[in-house]
Amino acid sequence: MNRVQSLRGLLPPTQVVYYRKPIHIERGSMQWLYDTDGRKYLDMFGGIVTVSVGHCHPTVNAALEEQSKKLWHTTSIYLTTPMLEYAEALTAKLPDPLKVVFFVNSGSEANDLAIKLARLHTGRFDMLSLRNGYHGMTQSVIGATNIASWKHPLPSGFGILKAMLPDPLNGPWGGRNCRDCEIPAKRECDCGNGPCKAGNKYLKEFSDCLGADFPAATGPAAFLAESIQGIGGTVQYPKNFLPQAFDAVKARGGLCIADEVQTGFGRLGTHFWGFEANGVLPDMITMAKGIGNGFPIGAVVTTVEIAKALGQGLYFNTYGGNPLAAAVGKAVLKVIEEEKLQENAHIVGEYFLKQLAAIDSPLIADVRGKGLMIGVEMVDESGAPMPSTRMCDIFEYTKDKGVLVGKGGPKGNVFRIKPPMCITKADVDQCVSVIAEAIKACK
């Protein structure tokens, strides 16, 4: 047994580690990772949709180093310039009246706080989320996460109800014209050139859920939804669903929370935020992951009135607004703007989707997504979800060929591609070539 194997025994035996033969990463540079043997990997998963501008980006590194020489930590009981300046820079990227920031440490914590704010502001307890959604794993927010593989046999839910997932590929309604994607779904659609019939049908189910679970004069404290489902398999809703669902909740006095943990910060290309791409204005936004390019930081942004609800008791976050995290967050925004990474996500993302869709294989059931948030759904020869063993064969093959991708979906049969937004078309070509080769090789 070598030293790495012996040290690994100090970690929990249940800890998820990718690959049958795990890789031991030592360093990273932009879209590249290097293991302890010096082998180079093209990172197409970005630390689970977290490395937004590139591993060890020099501008972000410099901002962190400069701040580390001045002040590491005071907690938010004192004001610091990095925290105030970052709050200003972050809210400048958001429309009115979303101008109040709670800084936290992760996406789970952000969603946890947003749920608390919604309940306090409305005086209601029951919440609504979507089946197949993922919003974190803290004991209170796990009820909003609705993927069985992430659940433990413990009480959860605590007043969080789940509406039907409006999935235009695998749900009861939908087809090629329903979603905001360069690549149409491989499913016939009866919408024609008119309104999305699938979206309207899913909305009826959503409205029936509201009518069945809440008295006529009331509704949920809030509806929490990802702009595109991430861990659930890069699921995009019918184009007209989310605006109508938000309207239905707001008509009953509820709030709407946009989970932008994976979809925010320019990743979708056409818009800086996923809620903008869906044509909605939420009451709260939760964010993490790409906000800090790998540094642990998250946030909830909301209105002044909703923020006041937390004044019913004391609230404190030891590391929220930490000077190091704030300096990193501000540098990330600067890099996205100066290096036009949102534009790159749009251009390279469209190219990526088209190249993936051009792979000639009946085992690819669907290529979907927007910008650099992409999913590739795999099936076997019968059209059933590809078995996990075969998925792992392909997964392992791509790694051995120097390309790292992710996996997700309730059946584990969706390859998730969410790279740093600095990737190039040449990187796309390498990734697509390896995936195509892996599918052919792993029969």
Residues 137 and 284 in one domain: yes
33 found inside a domain: no
Edge to edge, the sheet with strand 364-370 lists: 364-370, 373-378, 414-417, 406-408
| Mode of pairing for the β-strands spanning 100-104 and 298-302 | antiparallel
40 found inside a domain: no
For position 2, what pLDDT does the model report?
A: 65
- State the Cα torsion 349-334-226-267 to the nearest 10°: 0
d(C-alpha 379, C-alpha 174), whole Å: 19
For position 177, what pLDDT does the model report?
A: 84
Q: What is the CATH number of the domain that holds 104?
A: 3.40.640.10
188 found inside a domain: yes
pLDDT band, very low/low/confident/very high, at 4 (cuts 50, 70, 90): low
Residues 334 and 347 in one domain: no
For residues 323-327, average pLDDT:
98
**376-420 pLDDT per residue, tens:** 999 999 999 999 999 999 999 999 999 999 999 999 999 999 999
For position 418, what pLDDT does the model report?
A: 98
Is pLDDT larger for residue 57 or for residue 194? 57
pLDDT band, very low/low/confident/very high, at 201 (cuts 50, 70, 90): very high
Question: Domain range for residue 423?
Answer: 340-441
Residue 158 has pLDDT above 90, yes or no: no
Q: What is the CATH number of the domain that holds 410?
A: 3.90.1150.10
Residues 217 and 364 in one domain: no
Residues 310 and 369 in one domain: no
For position 188, what pLDDT does the model report?
A: 85
Residues 351 and 288 in one domain: no
pLDDT band, very low/low/confident/very high, at 12 (cuts 50, 70, 90): confident
> CA 280 → CA 146, 246, 284, distances in Å?
23, 8, 12
**326-385 pLDDT per residue, tens:** 999 999 999 999 999 999 999 999 999 999 999 999 999 999 999 999 999 999 999 999
For residues 87-104, average pLDDT:
97
Whole-number percent of the chain with pLDDT over 70: 99
Residues 257 and 329 in one domain: yes
d(C-alpha 167, C-alpha 237), whole Å: 6
Residues 292 and 263 in one domain: yes
Residues 360 and 221 in one domain: no
d(C-alpha 311, C-alpha 120), whole Å: 9
Domain termination site, one of 295, 310, 338: 338
79 found inside a domain: yes
316 found inside a domain: yes
For position 62, what pLDDT does the model report?
A: 98
Beta bridge partners of residue 130, listed in sequence order: 163
pTM: 0.96
For residues 178-184, average pLDDT:
91
Residues 304 and 395 in one domain: no
pLDDT band, very low/low/confident/very high, at 73 (cuts 50, 70, 90): very high
Structural domains in the chain (count): 2
Residue 195 has pLDDT above 80, yes or no: no
Residues 157 and 265 in one domain: yes
For position 269, what pLDDT does the model report?
A: 97
For residues 226-245, average pLDDT:
96
